[in-house]
Amino acid sequence: MTRTAPLPLSDDDRAAMLNAAKAAVAYRATLDTGDVPPNLRPAALAKGFDATLPAQGKPAATVIDDLVSFAGQGLHGHASPRFFAYVCGGSMPVGAAADFLVTSWGQNSASSFESPSVALMEQTLCQWCLDLLDLPKDSGVGIVSGATVANTQAIITGRDALLARQGWDIAENGLFGAPPIPVIIGEAAHSAPMAGVRYAGLGLGNATRLATDDQGRVLVSALKTALAACENPPLVILQAGQINTGAFDPFAEIIPLVHAAGGWVHVDGAFGLWAHAVPALRDRLAGVAEADSWAVDLHKWLNAPYDAGLCIVRDRAALVSAMSARGAYLPELGETWEPSDSTLELSRRARGVPSYAILQHLGAEGLRAMITRHCDIAADVAQRLAAEPGITIMNDVVLNQVAIACDTDEITTKVLARIQERGRVYPSHGVWQDRQIIRVSIINHATDAADIDLLIAEILDAHRALR
């Protein structure tokens, strides 16, 4: 019998897949040359863009070739070793390669029975991360799309657990009429956990914002005052790695106080929690492992391709009861890890596999060495810039973030605009202590001494020209 339907892989499909792989390799091979930002700005790019849906389709290989040549004009070098903006991992090639496979395998990764190889690799990834991060080994872990979702899931889980302890069944009764949950969060928190508080129906207006010190660390005295005012057990959200300063909240002092009040402590550790993997940095996060839940990204310091983070909850049953779509009551927490029991999603891609591949490639020592190197580079950047008259480093460089200010906001803004316009390196903007800053994040696996020399030269040249 001959098939009448198209082959699973026609010659055209094969060409499309191979051309895509070739274009991906060519792109990666030139990431350390040329400008970091796109050649064309959004408006210019949109001008030449044909947005009509074709009535008749085109061959797959043609589509891919067109896509490659169009996209090339507007790709930002987010994976470039000279991209220092925000806090963005560079996506290691081995992870990108594993991601091709994930997409090609097309596994629906909701079920360990239906997709056993993926589930085994992903469960192993979760165990490795718990070991590396030095968190309780029997924690529940959900592999989610990033730290925003990880924070949200953890906040929902904490909410449900706090209510369950007070005899309120949220799965059955919802939030209306439930005992109030006081939410306590630092002034210098990231917007992601604050979004989580909104998504969880707890209301940001009800949250107590704690005063912080000049590094963005929550003041213990403020926490004590807030706790004293709580009539119900609170949900307290702390931070490992403030985006401007890299600072850590004083976990060892705060967590026992919250637990004594019957509360739940969640830690947003999107990038900073990775410092716990490095013995020499671990003192900065003393006590963090005593929290109830943690959010951490894989697509930041692990340098995984985007769409990867972990929601980690000490009480695995609480995570499953909050997240399992099968209903809050059923999960028998057996040996098998059911991926979809720990995430909001049912169907999803095998998003843990690229991170598994990266850890296979780096090994524990390689990961520790990369994190250590990034922190050393950040300290070096700060030291070299601080020597320049008119430049102030606004943070204690305890991690990989450097907050740089010039004498006035106007100069800072102009200096950053000039650096971004030239495009050889790409730091980003921030506001810290009511001042405009240039923010440098050292987090790309491929950043080396030459990239840093160029970064320093670009900042100093712009500063000297504009001051």
Binding site for ligand PLP (CB under 6 A): 87, 146-148, 190, 192, 241, 243, 268, 270-271, 297, 309
Closest CB 147 distance from ligand PLP, rounded Å = 3
Q: Are 406 and 292 in contact (CB under 8 A)?
A: no
When the beta carbons of 238 and 411 are compared against ligand PLP, the nearer one is: 238
When the beta carbons of 295 and 406 are compared against ligand PLP, the nearer one is: 295
Structure tokens at 189: 């928190």
When the beta carbons of 298 and 394 are compared against ligand PLP, the nearer one is: 298
Closest CB 428 distance from ligand PLP, rounded Å = 12
Residue 230: count other Cβ atoms within 10 Å of its Cβ: 19
For residue 320, report the phi and psi dihedrals to the nearest 5 degrees: -65, -40
When the beta carbons of 68 and 278 are compared against ligand PLP, the nearer one is: 278
When the beta carbons of 112 and 303 are compared against ligand PLP, the nearer one is: 303
When the beta carbons of 189 and 462 are compared against ligand PLP, the nearer one is: 189
Closest CB 268 distance from ligand PLP, rounded Å = 5
What is each CA distance from 223 to 175, 185, 234, 272, 417, in whole angstroms? 26, 9, 11, 21, 39
Residues with Cβ within 8 Å of 369's Cβ and at least 6 positions away in sequence, in order, are none
Q: Are 102 and 349 in contact (CB under 8 A)?
A: yes
Residue 105: count other Cβ atoms within 10 Å of its Cβ: 14
* Residue with the shortest CB distance to ligand PLP: 146
When the beta carbons of 93 and 241 are compared against ligand PLP, the nearer one is: 241
What is each CA distance from 325 to 73, 171, 198, 343, in whole angstroms? 42, 11, 21, 9
Selection from 243, 225, 229, 216 nearest residue 88 by Cα: 243
Structure tokens at 106: 């097309």
Q: Are 318 and 161 in contact (CB under 8 A)?
A: yes
CA-to-CA distance for 426 and 419, rounded, in angstroms?
A: 7
168 by Cβ neighbours in 10 Å (0-12 / 13-18 / 19+) ranks as: middle
Closest CB 340 distance from ligand PLP, rounded Å = 20
Closest CB 243 distance from ligand PLP, rounded Å = 5
The strands making up 264-268's β-sheet, listed across from edge to edge, are 140-144, 309-313, 293-297, 264-268, 235-239, 183-186, 208-210
Closest CB 231 distance from ligand PLP, rounded Å = 29
When the beta carbons of 246 and 331 are compared against ligand PLP, the nearer one is: 246
Closest CB 33 distance from ligand PLP, rounded Å = 28
The single-letter code of the amino acid at 42 is: P
Closest CB 460 distance from ligand PLP, rounded Å = 27
